[in-house]
Amino acid sequence: MCNWPNVTLFRLNMALLLLFGSLLLLSRAAQGSNTSIPLVIWHGMGDNCCNPMSMGGIKKMVEAELPGIYVLSLMIGKNIAEDTESGFFRDVNDQVAFACDIIAKDPKLKAGYNAMGFSQGAQFLRAVAQRCPNPPMKTLISVGGQHQGVYGLPRCPGESSHICDWIRKALNSGAYTDAVQKHLVQAQYWHDPLNDDLYKQHSLFLADINQERVVNETYKKNLMTLEKFVMVKFLKDTVVDPVISEWFGFFKTGQAKETETLQQSALYTEDRLGLAQMDKAGKLVFLGTDGDHLQFTQEWFNAKLIPFLR
Ligand SMILES: *[C@@H]1O[C@H](CO)[C@@H](O)[C@H](O)[C@H]1NC(C)=O
Ligand SMILES: *[C@@H]1O[C@H](CO)[C@@H](O)[C@H](O)[C@H]1NC(C)=O
């Protein structure tokens, strides 16, 4: 039965090969040679864009898994020293605007990008998503971010403990005074559950992006365009207080012991930010990992986070 001449089979094979070859070339040409969506990363407190032990290492890890990907690690300021300083002493709203500007001007990001924020860099990138829809952020990965802020600063990362002692004093003496709000980054996501009214009225950054004063429909609409919002919580975190803030939960108002989940909060039940709708659409991903603040292995990173960047 199978007596097709060999030469016909050979021709057929060649034709198929050529066809697939040209399809491949065509799709490559359409996408440029990079098939991965670009990634923007924002470092945490006491860190900077380019430290080979931190963000530089993350960039390398991502590039190793997704060859050809464009990774932009945000530098807030003119140089690395200024970038590190911005993590402590610069108006966060101004930093977010600065980041939006870098992102909007980067031609490699114009078709959209994914974002990955570390610690406070995560809530700052969420503000970018809410305020700056062009180019569009597709997926936001928050690695130990504090979406409901912090009430306490039990430990500072790295070698910045003397700065932290100073910050603690400033926060205790008046986190919600305008001068402290304007200049101290940690005050701008300081969330005092015992002084809820003060927080709502005077927090220049966090209360604004969390819709505490008004519901800004633009924020809601923009956040809801995310394809996925992934939140990583470090189960043994000794830096963030309360740790549930990494999953968008917080202390119940009026005390600082009992916490509530995002789903129990007014932000969610009133759906002031679109998070309830996103949750129902399967866009919220809650990941937990068994380590202290920002402590994870490359295997965990590759297995749990890289899939969201493919
Ligand atoms: C692809 O990625 C490389 C490495 O990040 C970059 O230099 C190049 O400009 C990118 N090409 C396109 C078309 O985006
Ligand atoms: C809502 O957010 C947009 C985008 O940041 C801003 O331009 C606008 O002024 C905000 N509106 C209110 C009422 O805060």
Q: Which residues contact 263 (CB under 8 A, 6 or more apart)?
A: 279
The number of the ligand 2 atom at minimal distance from the alpha carbon of 216 is 1
Share of the chain above pLDDT 90, in %: 80
Inform me whether the pLDDT recorded for 252 exceeds 60.
yes
Q: Which residue has the higher pLDDT, 29 or 58?
A: 58
Q: How far is the CA of 110 from the centre of ligand 2 (A)?
A: 23
Mean pLDDT of 12-19: 57
Verify whether ligand 2 is closer than 6 Å to residue 134 (CB atom).
no
Task: Name the token pair of 76.
Answer: 């807030």
Cα atoms in the Cβ-side hemisphere of radius 13 Å centred on 264: 12
In the residue annotation, 119 being an active-site residue is answered as yes
> Which candidate in 86, 119, 203, 245 is catalytic?
119
The number of the ligand 2 atom at minimal distance from the alpha carbon of 222 is 4
**56-65 tens-digit pLDDT:** 999 999 999 9
Inform me whether the pLDDT recorded for 207 exceeds 90.
yes
Share of the chain above pLDDT 70, in %: 87
Mean pLDDT of 34-51: 92
Verify whether ligand 2 is closer than 6 Å to residue 100 (CB atom).
no
| Separation of alpha carbons 160 and 24, rounded Å | 51
Mean pLDDT of 219-233: 98
Inform me whether the pLDDT recorded for 14 exceeds 70.
no
Mean pLDDT of 143-168: 82
CA 55 to each of CA 6, 63, 121, 282: distance values in angstroms, whole numbers, following the listed order: 57, 12, 11, 29
Query: What confidence tier does 165 reach under pLDDT thresholds 50, 70, 90?
Result: confident
Say if CB 94 and CB 118 are below 8 A apart. Answer: no
Inform me whether the pLDDT recorded for 25 exceeds 70.
no
Inform me whether the pLDDT recorded for 31 exceeds 60.
no
- Closest C-alpha to ligand 1, atom 13: 32
Q: How far is the CA of 100 from the centre of ligand 2 (A)?
A: 15
- Closest C-alpha to ligand 2, atom 11: 216
Cα atoms in the Cβ-side hemisphere of radius 13 Å centred on 217: 0
Q: Give residue 20's pLDDT.
A: 58
Mean pLDDT of 112-121: 98
Domains of the chain in sequence order? 37-309 (3.40.50.1820)
Please tell me the number of the ligand nearest to residue 28's CA: 1
Q: Give residue 164's pLDDT.
A: 80
In the residue annotation, 293 being an active-site residue is answered as yes
Verify whether ligand 2 is closer than 6 Å to residue 219 (CB atom).
yes
Lowest mean pLDDT among 105-109, 180-184, 208-212: 180-184
State the Rg of the chain over Cα: 23
Q: Give residue 173's pLDDT.
A: 78
Query: What confidence tier does 1 reach under pLDDT thresholds 50, 70, 90?
Result: very low
Inform me whether the pLDDT recorded for 6 exceeds 70.
no
Inform me whether the pLDDT recorded for 79 exceeds 80.
yes
Residues with a CB atom less than 6 Å from ligand 1: 32, 34, 68, 70, 108
Say if CB 21 and CB 103 are below 8 A apart. Answer: no
Q: How far is the CA of 113 from the centre of ligand 1 (A)?
A: 13
Task: Name the token pair of 167.
Answer: 């910050």
Q: Give residue 10's pLDDT.
A: 54
pTM of the predicted protein model: 0.86
Mutate to test the pocket of ligand 2, among 205, 209, 217, 218 (most ligand atoms within 8 A of CB): 218
- DSSP for 25-66 reads HHHHHHH-S--SPPEEEE--TT--TT-TTTHHHHHHHHHHHS
Mean pLDDT of 207-213: 98
The number of the ligand 2 atom at minimal distance from the alpha carbon of 217 is 1
Say if CB 309 and CB 66 are below 8 A apart. Answer: yes
In the residue annotation, 161 being an active-site residue is answered as no
